[in-house]
Amino acid sequence: MAKLNMVKALNLALLQEMERDPDVLIIGEDVGVDGGVFRVTEDLHRKFGSTRVVDSPLAEAGIIGASVGMALYGLKPICEIQFSGFAFQCFHQIENHAARYRMRTQGRFGCQMVVRMPYGGGVRALEHHSESEEQFYAHIPGLKMVIPSGPRNARALLASAIRDPDPVIFFEAKALYHAAKEDVPDEIETMEIGRARIDRPGHDLTVVAYGAMVRVAREAADRLHEEDGVETEIVDLLTISPPDRETLAASVRKTGRAVIVHEAPKSFGPGAEIATSIMEGAFLSLEAPILRVTAHDVPFVGFARERANLPDVPRLLAACRETLKF
Amino acid sequence: MPRTNIEPQFTVEHLSVLDADGNLDSAVEPPIPPDELKRLYRSMVLARRFDERMLRLQRQGRIGTFAPIKGQEAAQLGSVATLRRTDWMVPSFRETASMLWRGWPMEKMLLFFAGYLEGGQPTADQHDLPVCIPVSTQLPHAVGLAYAAQYRGDDAVVMVYCGDGATSEGDFHEAMNFAGVWHVPVVFVIQNNQWAISIPLKKQTNSRTIAQKALAYGFPGIQVDGNDVLAVYAASQEAVSRARQGNGPTLVECVTYRLGVHTTSDDPTKYRSAEEVASWERKDPLTRFSAYLQKRGLLEPGLEEQVDREIAAAVRSFEATAGADPLTMFDHAYAERLPALEAQRTAMQARFEHAAGERPAGAAPAPPSHESAATGGDDAAPASPPMRGQRRPWRS
């Protein structure tokens, strides 16, 4: 057991999965000698050499396209896209190919691969370094989409993603990389993809969050407890696609009220799918309309205005109180 | 400081073995055993006649849109014939001849163009990727396959196809660059057929050749007469053996011509002249190769009738295929059927059973106006008790 931040926890998962399976390799920009711009692949190059920790040319479509080929051959590539904002340059390789080869070949080939990308705001970064684009990947049949919320689940989910036979898009919240340390067991730990976790039990209100927004949800839940005597249940989604509809519905059948919080823009975002899942599974239990607290439907606003755009505790609190009063 | 010339002199060769009348330049003739020559010609005839038959089937509405290969048989067969079964072949969408050579059954190819995904399923021991429709996006896959072969220590070579239009795409350049940097065993076969739908080569690139594009990425490129099967074979064999020996990638530009339509939805008379087509018909790869074989006494009589019988049998077998079972659409989206897909499949099955009047006792029909609820309520969560007494199920 060691106290690790998310960067170190992810690094541990990579190290252990590479040790246990020689078909696992890493490919991306600056992942080798430099250890990745966020240091997630640090020292792996030294341990596994440059054919297993591959510093690729600077080309996202090449990285994903070549990884698709490696996966078709039977290797298990882990690709690092330096920032999720640059992944549109390989979006076609993900959507047209990684997600589809299994279907296209009727099961003859699959793409066992993980695409890791840092996403999200709150780190005072320039355009293309702060956005949240999980909705695009969550919408693609054939992909799985995972977003951990802390060091321990990040490590366990990454190990599971690497072992998953289907392509997994793995988003890492930049705001969480160095945010907190957690006890992470030394021995290998995995976590089922497709399962949400109850981050905090409660019976008055459900807040659905994932990634960096789980922190916001926790703080709001504390305030609701202290100031309003309200017990909030936080559902930490962890897997965006396929979503754990059972856990979502079960929570709202208990609480009757739900607020969804995410950093992606509102319209057609993950909140819409989450809300629909709740409607389908807990309609007769709902006491109030489901509310969404999200970024606004505007392109990148610049980090000078970012705090006004991203969900924060006051906005989430206001939404929770609105739904409680309904 | 003066300007200095740092660039070494690059050369781009053009190779031609047979002239338009099938006369041989024996100095560059590749050593191909007579049986292999006969097999090559037979495959060219089969590919040509199968392609023509597919065109008729498409016009009759028996298969959908496809991209005919007429005129490109030598470019495809001269290259693919230099591969071993254990090598990899990565097609774009106009490689019927290469695919036939690699053992794709005609029935399967017809199924593919009739809209069945089953037609794109390689067999377990087949090292081919299926048809790839987005232009040039298969090229990085080939580079990844080649990297993986090298990583595993296998001596497999990867041959990947694209057209002249594909050389304008970013993926072409990314794939070439990765291949050069990684020094992997891949052979890029570019079928320069002069036209990308209505765009002639001149509007596609300002490079004098496509072959020279390889030089910028640090590996050799060669241009060959793509309607000369012996020239294509010679250049491909050299490229494949270079790759197998660990000496990296090669680009082989086959200068050829699409004698027919881009796809069956295209009308080429809008953008190119009959004279131009006629001039390329005089360079037909089949005529040239058969003239050469005739001189060598290797031409088999009755070949056309023989392949036509094979094609007819394949068409009969294709048309006898049972209709597609829609329920199998859920089988290969993921390695395992996810709960949401299981629920959608169950809902579809119930709709079919209902439509067929075979509704199982006790199963409620999906109300048509609530179809999305029936298909989207994926987890079939148990109904919760009404919290507000006024709400009632919409029908009992």
The CATH number for A12's domain is: 3.40.50.970
pLDDT tens-digit map of A248-299:
999 999 999 999 999 999 999 999 999 999 999 999 999 999 999 999 999 9
Mean pLDDT lowest among A253-262, B15-24, B78-87, B104-113? B15-24
A260 and A166 co-located in one domain: no
In a domain, B389, yes or no: no
Q: Of residues B84, B85, B271, B316, which has the active-site annotation?
A: B271
Distance from CA of A65 to the nearest CA of B (A): 5
* Residues A310/A192, Cβ–Cβ less than 8 Å: no
Contact A82, A38 (CB under 8 A): no
CB contact under 8 A, B387 and A74: no
Cα separation of A13 and A154, whole Å?
9
Q: Quick check: B117 and A104 CB within 8 A?
A: yes
Please give the sequence-ordered ranges of beta strands (E in DSSP) within B26-175, or none if there are none: 88-90, 158-163
Q: What confidence score (pLDDT) does residue B356 get?
A: 87
Spatial distance between the Cα atoms of A188 and A163, rounded to a whole number of angstroms? 12
Q: Which one of A135, A153, A184 terminates a domain?
A: A184
Provide the pLDDT for residue B360. Answer: 52
Average pLDDT over residues B366-380: 41
- Answer with the one of B260, B289, B319 that is the final residue of a domain: B319
Is residue B248 located within the same domain as residue B333? no
In a domain, B315, yes or no: yes
Q: Given a cut of 50, is residue B367 above it in pLDDT?
A: no
Whether B234 and B360 share a structural domain: no
Beta carbons of B385 and A280 less than 8 Å apart: no
Q: What is the pLDDT of residue B66?
A: 95
Q: Is A129 a catalytic residue?
A: yes
Residue B188 has pLDDT above 50, yes or no: yes
Q: What's the gap in Å between the CA of B212 and the closest CA on chain A?
A: 21
Q: Which residues are registered as beta bridge partners of A116?
A: A80, A170
Calculate how close chain A gets to B307, using CA atoms only, in Å: 28
Say if B24 falls within a structural domain: yes
B123 and B268 part of one domain: yes
Nearest to A65 among B120, B149, B175 (CB): B175
The structural domain count of chain B equals 2
E strands within B62-141? Answer: 88-90
Cα distances (angstroms) measured from residue B122 to each of A1, B117, B381: 47, 11, 39
Cβ A73–B376 below 8 Å, yes or no?
no
B363 pLDDT exceeds 80? Answer: no
Average pLDDT of chain B? 91
Residue owning tokens 């190779």:
B15
The answer as to whether B66 is a domain residue is yes
B6 located within any domain = no
- List beta partners, residue A144: A168
**Per-residue pLDDT at A210 exceeds 80:** yes
- Assess whether B219 and B161 both reside in one domain: yes
Q: Which residues of B touch A56 (CB under 8 A)?
A: 178
- Residue in A88, A91, A106, A285 to test binding to B, most B beta-carbons within 10 Å: A106
- Domain co-membership, B340 together with B253: no
In percent, the amount of chain B with pLDDT more than 90 equals 84
Please report whether residue B8 resides in a domain: no
Same domain, A162 and A15: yes
* More confidently predicted of B362 and B12: B12
Model confidence at A197, in pLDDT bands (50, 70, 90)? very high
Q: Can you give the residue range of the structural domain that contains A261?
A: 197-325
* Together in a domain, A201 and A304: yes
Q: What is the pLDDT of residue B371?
A: 36
- Position A33 in a domain: yes
Instruction: Show residues of chain A in contact with B169, CB under 8 Å.
Output: none
In a domain, A96, yes or no: yes
Q: Which of A51, A58, A105 to mutate to test the interface with B (most CBs of B within 10 A)?
A: A105
Tell me the ipTM for this assembly.
0.97
d(CA B36, CA B78): 11
Side chain identity, residue A53: V
Mean predicted confidence (pLDDT) in B204-228: 97
pLDDT for res B7: 72
User: Are residues B306 and B331 located together in one domain of the fold?
Assistant: no
Are residue A213 and residue A298 in the same domain, yes or no? yes
What's the rounded mean pLDDT across residues B134-141?
A: 98
Q: Is there a single domain that holds both residue B174 and residue B278?
A: yes
Distance from CA of A144 to the nearest CA of B (A): 9
User: Do B139 and B68 share a domain, yes or no?
Assistant: yes
Q: Assign residue B173 the CATH number of its domain.
A: 3.40.50.970
pLDDT exceeds 90 at position A154:
yes
Same domain membership, residue A92 and residue A41: yes
pTM: 0.93
Q: Answer yes or no: do B109 and B163 share one domain.
A: yes
Residue-averaged pLDDT of chain A: 97
pLDDT at B237 over 50: yes
Task: State whether B129 and A56 contact (CB < 8 Å).
Answer: no
Tens digit of each residue's pLDDT (9 = 90 or more) over A4-33: 999 999 999 999 999 999 999 999 999 999
Does A149 lie in the same domain as A14? yes
In a domain, A210, yes or no: yes
A184, A218, A246 - which closes a domain: A184
Active-site position among A45, A97, A128, A129? A129
Q: What is the pLDDT of residues B169-179, one digit of tens each?
A: 999 999 999 99
- At residue B9 the predicted structure's pLDDT band, cuts being 50, 70 and 90, is confident
pLDDT of residue B362: 52
Size of interface A-B (CB pairs under 8 A): 166
Q: Min CA distance, A116 vs chain B (Å)?
A: 18
What pLDDT is attached to residue B382?
Answer: 45
SS3 of B6, please? coil
Predicted pLDDT of residue B358:
60
Q: Do A106 and B178 touch (CB under 8 A)?
A: no
Tell me the per-residue pLDDT of A89-134, one tens digit each, with 9 for 90 and over.
999 999 999 999 999 999 999 999 999 999 999 899 999 999 999 9
Tokens of B346: 């169950």
Domain range for residue B336?
A: 326-366
Return the residue in B143, B151, B159 with the most chain A beta carbons within 10 A, the one to mutate for interface testing. B151
Q: Are residues A147 and A56 in the same domain?
A: yes
Do residue A103 and residue B130 have CB atoms under 8 angstroms apart? no
Please check whether residues B332 and B283 belong to one and the same domain: no
Residues B33 and B143 in one domain: yes
Bigger pLDDT: B219 vs B361: B219
Handedness of CA A255, A256, A257, A263 (dihedral sign): positive
In a shared domain, residues B173 and B205: yes
Average pLDDT over residues B346-368: 71
Asked if B334's CB is within 8 angstroms of A73's CB, the reply is: no
Cα distance between residue B185 and residue B179, in whole Å: 8
Specify the number of domains making up chain A. Answer: 2
Does residue B330 belong to any structural domain of this protein? yes
Residue A304 lies in a domain: yes
Please give the average per-residue pLDDT across B189-210, as a whole number: 97
Q: Kindly state whether residue B291 falls inside one of the protein's structural domains.
A: yes
The verdict on A235 and A285 lying in the same domain is yes
Q: Are residues A138 and A8 in the same domain?
A: yes
Residue A25's DSSP bridge partners are A77
Q: Which of A157-166, B2-11, B347-356 has the lowest mean pLDDT?
A: B2-11
Contact between chains at B174 and A194 (C-beta distance less than 8 A): no
pLDDT range class, residue B394, cuts 50, 70, 90:
low
Residues A179 and A217 in one domain: no
**Contact criterion met (CB below 8 Å) for A32 and A54:** yes
CA distances from B361 to B345, B350, B358, B364 (A): 19, 12, 9, 9
Q: Which of B253, B284, B319 is the last residue of a domain?
A: B319
Q: With contacts defined as CB-CB under 8 Å, which chain A residues touch B327?
A: none
Output the domain CATH number for residue A267.
Answer: 3.40.50.920
Q: Is A190 contained in some domain?
A: no
